[in-house]
Structure 1
């Protein structure tokens, strides 16, 4: 991360009056630099044409990449996160629509660049703790009914199992209406990455959006935030520092030389006189 990049982020947010915006699934995309700055802090670099609106960021080991394709249209996903096969780890991908909150997507990329937990979490448990009820078909719904999460099995429409998240319009006659945004995770995506998305999406704390910044839907509730613009900037900077520290510590552990073996001297028999 360069000082200029951080300064440009600060310049934008220092002059925006922050508004607490909830629920999170209706908060709107926010600032995409929550995602890209986090990856840059972990050592990822832009490998696409700097003058193109299409962006590709690649991890230092070239195993992971994030593509941003705003020309893909309203229906298609704008963000694609992929992993190349490596050793016993298979290929996987995740895709996110235009209006997925950047902070929620950043929770996934943050979880990707730091060491995974010792035990894999259960996204269903996270949903239960957040109060998202599951219906008879196994679909979890937000309290307003506008966001659904399901683990789709193999079917005629789906070649592989996948986690599918969708926010959509509702009316008095039906639960599902026009799609607002969607996200899905391939079956090989680690559970801790899915859980990072679910945890960030279902969090009770509001997201900050600037005055007049578009949300994903008119039913999003906005109130003046107790946070100052500078506090919003400081929180972003502190997060980037934490990511860098985690990544550097992990690299030190990987490159730390193994301790030298201890050689014990074998007792020699006493010389005969």
Structure 2
């Protein structure tokens, strides 16, 4: 891609080679800051120990997002405490789950619940995923067959969601959601899983797979920084807007009733 096709070249900057990768489900893990910096911009606190795995906690302390690459199999754990609508729940996503797909779930943790009933299958069907019943299970498979989402019943009768992607070399990842995982979170995950747009990876971080397609692009550090900052700025703006609406709500506490004739003045 020629220099003229990109805007924002800074003085003295040297373009770096990156690749657009498709399908995104096979693009590899990516940069965890895509998730952690967004959560931090939404008011989440980092609880990570020095040199240890990533741990982020929501302002209410009811939600936690952790990433641990130091254990086997390693990966993401998202945990929610029980509330008035859902029991305690957790989701576990493998280390090679692309951060853009993980972010579908973790970004949704920062947004209020939708008034509409969630439909996990809708974003998959919009992208022409094939759906079929397998006994008591229900499965959706991507058009190229590399990724799938499954709704399944366990031996104890509990219903769980499972997702995964794998290439012909058996490289890939899996994700599982416990029964109480809120459906709007599974839907948000499914939306990014089915997203047909490619994702970007730097040179040397593109998986070796016969099933991916890549396009080489030249990107400057300032461009990468601007794109990352735009995501963070959007998170801060949305958080500020939600907090402003919350703080502007009228108080419901009853004020003391003033006696007829006006308040008395103490002498």
TM-score scaled by length of structure 2: 0.80
Q: Say which of 111, 114, 120 aligns to 1:123.
A: 120
Q: Do residues 66 (structure 1) and 65 (structure 2) align?
A: yes
Shift of 1:235: 2.2
Shift of 1:165: 0.4
- Taking a change above 3 Å as real, the CA distance of residues 135 and 212 of structure 1, as seen in their structure-2 partners, is same
Q: What SS class does the counterpart of residue 72 from structure 1 fall into? A: coil
- Taking a change above 3 Å as real, the CA distance of residues 240 and 135 of structure 1, as seen in their structure-2 partners, is same
**Paired residues of 2:15 and 2:218 also in contact (CA < 8 A):** no
Q: Do residues 190 (structure 1) and 182 (structure 2) align?
A: yes
Provide, for residues 30-64 of structure 1, a one-character-per-residue CA deviation record: whole Å limited to 9, x for no partner. 11110111111111122131222x22111111111
Partner of 1:246: 238
Q: Do residues 84 (structure 1) and 81 (structure 2) align?
A: yes
Q: Do residues 98 (structure 1) and 72 (structure 2) align?
A: no
Judging by fraction of residues, say which structure has more helix: 1
Aligned length: 242
**Paired residues of 1:208 and 1:225 also in contact (CA < 8 A):** no
Shift of 1:103: 1.1
Provide, for residues 101-142 of structure 1, a one-character-per-residue CA deviation record: whole Å limited to 9, x for no partner. 011111211111122322133111111111110134231111
Q: What SS class does the counterpart of residue 17 from structure 1 fall into? A: strand
- Taking a change above 3 Å as real, the CA distance of residues 124 and 154 of structure 1, as seen in their structure-2 partners, is same
Tell me which stretches of 4 or more aligned residues in structure 1 moved more than 6 Å: 260-263
**Paired residues of 1:35 and 1:109 also in contact (CA < 8 A):** yes
**Paired residues of 1:28 and 1:216 also in contact (CA < 8 A):** no
Over aligned residues, Cα RMSD in angstroms? 2.7
Judging by fraction of residues, say which structure has more strand: 2
CA distance in 2, matches of 1:164, 1:131: 19
CA distance in 2, matches of 1:180, 1:98: 9
Partner of 2:263: none
Q: Say which of 159, 162, 165 aligns to 2:163.
A: 165
CA distance in 2, matches of 1:189, 1:113: 15
**Paired residues of 2:22 and 2:214 also in contact (CA < 8 A):** yes
Could you tell me which runs of 5 or more consecutive residues in structure 2 were left unpaired when the two chains were aligned.
Answer: 1-13, 261-267
- Taking a change above 3 Å as real, the CA distance of residues 107 and 133 of structure 1, as seen in their structure-2 partners, is same
- Taking a change above 3 Å as real, the CA distance of residues 164 and 179 of structure 1, as seen in their structure-2 partners, is farther
**Paired residues of 2:65 and 2:79 also in contact (CA < 8 A):** yes
Q: What SS class does the counterpart of residue 43 from structure 1 fall into? A: coil
Partner of 1:146: 146
Partner of 2:42: 42
Partner of 2:16: 16
**Paired residues of 2:91 and 2:176 also in contact (CA < 8 A):** yes
Could you tell me which runs of 5 or more consecutive residues in structure 1 were left unpaired when the two chains were aligned.
Answer: 1-13, 171-176, 267-273
Partner of 2:196: 204
